[in-house]
Amino acid sequence: MSKTPSETPSFRDLNIAEPLLKALDEIGYETPSPIQAQAVPPLLQGKDLLGHAPTGTGKTAAFALPLLSRLDMKNKSVQIMTLTPTRELAIQVAEAFQRYASHIKGFHVLPIYGGQEYSGQIRQLRRGVQVVVGTPGRVMDHMRKGTLKLDGLKALVLDEADEMLRMGFIDEVSWILEQTPADRQMALFSATMPKEVERIARRHLNKPQEISIKAKTA
The residues that touch ligand AMP, with contacts defined as CB under 6 A, are: 29, 32-33, 36, 55-61, 217
CB of 135 to ligand AMP, least distance (A): 17
> DSSP code of 10?
P
User: At its nearest, how many Å lie between ligand AMP and the CB of residue 49?
Assistant: 15
Residue closer to ligand AMP by CB (options 66, 121) is 66
CB of 15 closer than 8 Å to CB of 44: yes
Smallest gap, in angstroms, from Cβ of residue 126 to ligand AMP? 30
Count the neighbouring beta carbons within 10 Å of the beta carbon of residue 36. 26
H or E element: which one contains 19? helix 18-27
Q: What is the CA 209 to chain-centroid distance, rounded? A: 16
Residue 169 backbone phi and psi in degrees, to 5 = -95, 15
Least distance between ligand AMP and beta carbon 76 (Å): 28
The set of residues, in sequence order, having a beta carbon less than 8 Å from that of 33 and lying 6+ positions away, is 57, 58, 61, 62, 217
Q: Which is nearer to ligand AMP, 23 or 156 (CB)?
A: 23
Give the residue among 164, 160, 185, 187 at the shortest CA–CA distance from 174.
164
Between 32 and 42, name the residue whose CB sits nearer to ligand AMP.
Answer: 32
CA distance 200 to 170: 9
- Counting every residue written for the chain, the total comes to 218
Nearer to ligand AMP, 32 or 136 (CB): 32
Give the nearer residue to ligand AMP in terms of CB position, either 33 or 121: 33
Cβ proximity to ligand AMP: between 21 and 150 the closer is 21
Q: How far is the CB of 120 from ligand AMP (least distance, A)?
A: 26
Residue 145: CB minimum distance to ligand AMP, A: 31
What 8-state DSSP symbol labels residue 46? T
Please list, in sequence order, all residues whose beta carbon lies within 8 angstroms of the beta carbon of residue 117, skipping any fewer than 6 positions away. Answer: none
